[in-house]
């Protein structure tokens, strides 16, 4: 890998590492309690399988990003980076989509299913979840750019024009 390509990759991976770590921390600390008709309930990320999936997927991507940053440039593992970047981008996209769907139902409810919105009762939880999703979306965008960048680097020699 050339020096310029390596620096661009490291910068993008560092941004992705920080963003995924922040998304996990913000989502894991999101909780709020509400009292309705003398019944007290607590809203937290672990109550929703979609939010759990979000935290686990972003945790995996965070660890993967750190491992790739620390990987020696002479390693043979770099041949698999493009495939793993694709898998990580798909993992981020699916977990973000699932969490976003649940966040939407929490915010707006679903009148057809009889689900009421809960963000009026637990606004702190909804605000933190929204912040985690915004940072999560940044991670998805960075990984998409990283995937396109990796494709460009990997396929560049095939499309170079020799004069």
Do 64 and 40 form a contact (C-beta atoms < 8 A)? no
Confidence of residue 163 (pLDDT cuts 50, 70, 90): very low
Q: What is the pTM of this model?
A: 0.86
Higher pLDDT: 105 or 115? It is: 105
Give percent above pLDDT 90 in the chain.
49
Per-residue pLDDT for 3 more than 60? no
The helix/strand/coil state of 109 is coil
What value does the mean pLDDT take over residues 6-26? Answer: 92
């Amino acid at each position: 890998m050339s020096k310029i390509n390596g620096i661009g990759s490291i910068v993008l991976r560092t941004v992705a590492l920080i963003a995924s770590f922040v998304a996990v921390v913000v989502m894991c600390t999101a909780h709020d309690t509400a009292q309705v008709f003398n019944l007290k309930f607590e809203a937290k990320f672990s109550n929703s399988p979609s939010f759990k999936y979000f935290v686990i997927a972003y945790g995996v991507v965070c660890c993967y990003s750190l491992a790739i940053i620390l990987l020696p440039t002479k390693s043979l593992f770099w041949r698999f980076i493009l495939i793993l970047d694709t898998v990580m981008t798909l993992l981020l996209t699916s977990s973000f989509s699932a969490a976003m769907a649940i966040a939407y139902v929490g915010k707006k409810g679903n009148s057809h299913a009889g689900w009421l919105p809960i963000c009026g009762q637990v606004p702190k939880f909804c605000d933190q979840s929204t912040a985690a999703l915004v940072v999560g979306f940044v991670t998805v965008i960075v990984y998409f750019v990283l995937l396109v960048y990796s494709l460009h680097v990997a396929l560049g020699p095939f499309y170079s024009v020799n004069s």
